[in-house]
Structure 1
Amino acid sequence: MKSVKNNLPGLILNVLLIVLSCPIMVIGWWLFMNTSVLINTGPDGCGGEVVNGVGLGIICAGALLMVVSVVGSIYYCCRMCCSSRPCLLTLSFWFYVVFMVLFIIFNLGFTIYTLADTNQGFDSQLWNETQTCMIKSDICTKFNPKYLNNTLEEHLTAIQSGCCKPSDDCGFTYSSPANWTAGKGVSDKNPDCNAWDNDPKVMCFNCDSCKAVFADKMNKMYKKFGKVNFGFIALLIIAFAAYLVFREDDNYTSSNQTTGRRAHP
């Protein structure tokens, strides 16, 4: 009875973690399938190639958490029901330790990798795919004409401002959403001025300002993910450390009880 009382909290915790792993995998799948919601550039979800890795990583983390929790549940069941079989207890314990350590290492490594990978920016192939997506989704031709006046900047999204119009310091004159006339004093200091083209398939999609907008969105999203994941890892480490302390204390108590019984037959 005492064995059940001592190990029931651990069993309940692992069952709760099994339940928690299910929505984690669902969230990962949702992120993997709905990149357009995060990037907010249209139904095609431009830039989603970068985001898909986050969703896939969360799915793997949820699956590994479920495996860890199942092994932990088996271990606690063995402690309650099979305490007379030390070999089985030892085997289940080390399975639990190995899977827990793997889960922590995977989460930590994945978080560091995604943050480092995002800071490197877009490679040429990925940016070409993003450009193609933006052209297909017509993000630069969906302005409402009534907003295109002297307060144009107030009605543009960050992506439209960075990718659909030339930089203000270029000195271009606005004629229509896809027609800007270059003045005599075009700035040579800003390379985006020469990258601009009135062609709807070119516009400012090759501009550094356009790439910077996407890079900024990716960095913000990955930083939020990283903070949440690091917090989750910290909680797991604390919980696992507390479990090891509790196990050691439980073993010490059991050993003292056994010694006491032997000393007083």
Structure 2
Amino acid sequence: MKCSNSLVGILNFVTFLLSIPILGGGIWLAHKATTDCEKYLEKPVIALGVFLLVVSLAGFIGACCRVNWLLWVYLVVMFILILILFCFTIFAFVVTNKGAGEAVSQRGYKEYKLGDYSNWLQKRVDSSKNWNRIRSCLVDGKVCQKLSQETNTVANDFFAKHLSPIESGCCKPPENCQFTYVSPTNWNTNGNRTTTNPDCNAWNNAPNTLCYDCTSCKAGFLQNLKRDWKRVAVINIVFLVFLIIVYSIGCCAFRNNRWDSNNGWKPYR
């Protein structure tokens, strides 16, 4: 069997093996998921597992068994996947080119404003349906639990902490609310509720409320998302190069299949 056919067969066999735990993980989530966040993941994970399973089988059978139409379908799907990944990578860099934390005087953490981020991202988190899901994930993920357990932390030590964007935006009130520090997730309002910043009115010391309904929390989430998307975009570039190489090898295998079909294929000895 020609080298290109063997390489495509091996690569797709490995992909087939990888698809099994992914599909199994999705099925496990479908039956065992207890939180809204976990339930939200089950369908994409199952879809990814099925997709990898079907495509890898098509590539493996098409290359190793010389089934031209299956290999053609495999190459078409690979080409579409390359285009999608390329477009997503460009899109990820474009929508994450805005937004950054603002340093606060005598504070170890930064604060984040929703208006600093791209309009597309703002619209996504401003949607009540989307934010309710995200909020549920943040609460279920107990992102503020670590801070809430630090009940003996004095104010100066807390103000010097390097908080993550979500911790800064969701677990404490904004600085301009001028609330009095009691503990990391417990603040005395002193009657300083103000209408100039709606986040001050949204703050509540209840563990499942805090500042999860604040625009600063949405901004902190977008800052995390921005960082993660940029990492994914860099990984996508590497993955795109790999896919293009595999696609080129697949094209060689398809050409071999056609040549063998036209000249009468016989097993190699």
For normalisation by structure 1, the TM-score amounts to: 0.62
Give matches, 1:156-175, under 5 Å.
156-175=163-182
Match of 2:11 in 1: 16
The 10-residue stretch of structure 1 (115-124 or 170-179) with the greater mean CA deviation from structure 2: 115-124
Match of 2:112 in 1: none
Whether 1:217 and 2:201 are equivalent positions in the alignment is no
What CA RMSD, in Å, does the superposition of the two structures yield over aligned residues? 4.4
Greater share of helix: 1
Give how far 1:204 is off. 0.6
Structure 1: which 5+ residue stretches go unaligned? 35-42, 79-91, 256-265
Structure 2: which 5+ residue stretches go unaligned? 96-119, 263-269
Whether 1:237 and 2:244 are equivalent positions in the alignment is yes
Structure 2 letter corresponding to 1:26: P
SS of corresponding position for 2:187: strand
Which residue among 124, 133, 148 is the counterpart of 1:121?
124
The 10-residue stretch of structure 1 (15-24 or 105-114) with the greater mean CA deviation from structure 2: 105-114
Task: Provide the rounded CA distance (Å) in 1 between the counterparts of 2:227 and 2:43.
Answer: 15
Whether 1:26 and 2:21 are equivalent positions in the alignment is yes
CA spacing shift, 1:186–1:152, aligned 2, 3 Å = same
CA spacing shift, 1:184–1:30, aligned 2, 3 Å = same
**Which one scores higher on RCO, CA 8 angstroms, separation ≥ 6?**
2
Whether 1:103 and 2:78 are equivalent positions in the alignment is yes
Match of 1:198 in 2: 205
Number of equivalenced pairs: 228
**Deviations for 1:144-203, whole angstroms, at most 9, x for unmatched residues?**
223343121416443332212101122111123443233577665433222212333322
Which residue among 69, 72, 83 is the counterpart of 1:94?
69
Whose Rg is larger? 1
Task: Provide the rounded CA distance (Å) in 1 between the counterparts of 2:27 and 2:201.
Answer: 36
Give matches, 1:72-83, under 5 Å.
72-74=62-64, 77-78=65-66
**Deviations for 1:12-56, whole angstroms, at most 9, x for unmatched residues?**
43223311342255357659979xxxxxxxx98785566656644
For normalisation by structure 2, the TM-score amounts to: 0.62
Which residue among 51, 59, 66 is the counterpart of 2:56?
66
Work out whether residues 4 and 250 of structure 2, in 8 Å CA contact, stay in contact via their aligned partners in 1: no
Work out whether residues 85 and 236 of structure 2, in 8 Å CA contact, stay in contact via their aligned partners in 1: no
Structure 2 letter corresponding to 1:145: T
